Amino acid sequence: MESTMTNQPRKGEFFELEPDARRKGKGHGVVFENEQALLTPPRLILLPKTGGFPPLRETPRLVYHPHQGVPPQDLEGGMSGYWLVSERLRQVMETVDPDAFVFADTDYRLSDGSKGPTYFLCDVVRTLDALDEETSQLNIEISDEFEAGKYYGLTGDVRLAFKRDVLGSGHVFRLAFHGGVFCDRVFKEAVEEAGITTAGKSSGLWFYDVVNC
C-alpha cells in the first residue's frame, strides 16, 4: 500500500513553519497604523476567516518605532492575522511555490516618516487534506466544538507523514484540521541557500521538524 511504502515519517523531510518566537526582548517595533480603517466588522483582525486578503480600501501603513522594539526580520507574525515578509523572502516564496502564497503591498515607513525597506503582508492560501493519519503519530481530537469537527493536536511526541499524491508539486501548505503552516525540505533549503537563515541566525523563520521523536 502507498501509505505503508512511501508515506513513512522521516526526519528532515517536512517542517512546521512559524515566526521564530525565541527572540528575547520586546520583539519587533512595527505598528500597523491604519489597521482599524481596514477592518471589516465584526472581524477584529484583517485576515478573513477564509484566508487571503479582503478588498483593501487603502494600502496597509506600517511604521517602525524604535521604542516599541527592534527592526523586523525577514519573517514576523502578528500583523492582524498575517505574516510580515521581506522582499528577499517573498522572492524565495514565489520562486519555489508561487501558488501557496498571496501578498499585499505595504507603505512601510521609519519613525521619521521616511520610506523603509520593502515589506509585504503575506498569507498561505493552500489548504490540503494531506496528512496520512494511519501512518502518523499524533493526537487527533474529534468534537463538535471544532468548526471542522476534528483537530490535529501536535503537542508531545509527534511523527507526521503526508500523502505525496495529495501534495503533488506543492511545497508549502496548511492542513485541513490544523491552523499551522507546513513546508518540505525543498522550501527550507531554498531559504537557506538565499542566505536568509543560517546556522546561527533564523531571521524570523522557525522550521520545526514534524518528526520529533
pLDDT tens per residue across span 10-21 = 999 999 999 998
Query: Grid coordinates 519587533 are at which residue?
Result: 28
Strand-pairing partners, residue 142, are 150
N-to-C CA span, the chain:
24
pLDDT at 1 over 60: no
> Using 50, 70 and 90 to split pLDDT, how confident is the model at 7?
confident
Q: Which of 48, 178, 65 is nearest to 121 (CA)?
A: 48
CA distance 206 to 15: 9
Question: What is the reported pLDDT for 5?
Answer: 56
The dihedral sign for the CA sequence 202, 115, 123, 90: negative
C-alpha cell at 24: 528575547
Beta strands in the chain (DSSP E): 14-19, 30-32, 61-64, 75-79, 82-86, 101-105, 107-109, 119-124, 127-128, 139-142, 150-153, 172-175, 178-184, 205-209
Q: What letter represents residue 157's amino acid?
A: D
CA distance 171 to 97: 6
Question: What is the reported pLDDT for 22?
Answer: 86
The dihedral sign for the CA sequence 73, 22, 99, 51: negative
Report percent pLDDT > 70 for the chain.
97
pLDDT at 2 over 60: no
Position with higher pLDDT, 146 vs 87: 87
Question: What is the reported pLDDT for 35?
Answer: 98
Output the CA–CA distances (angstroms, integers) from residue 189 to 15, 115, 183, in the order listed: 12, 31, 11
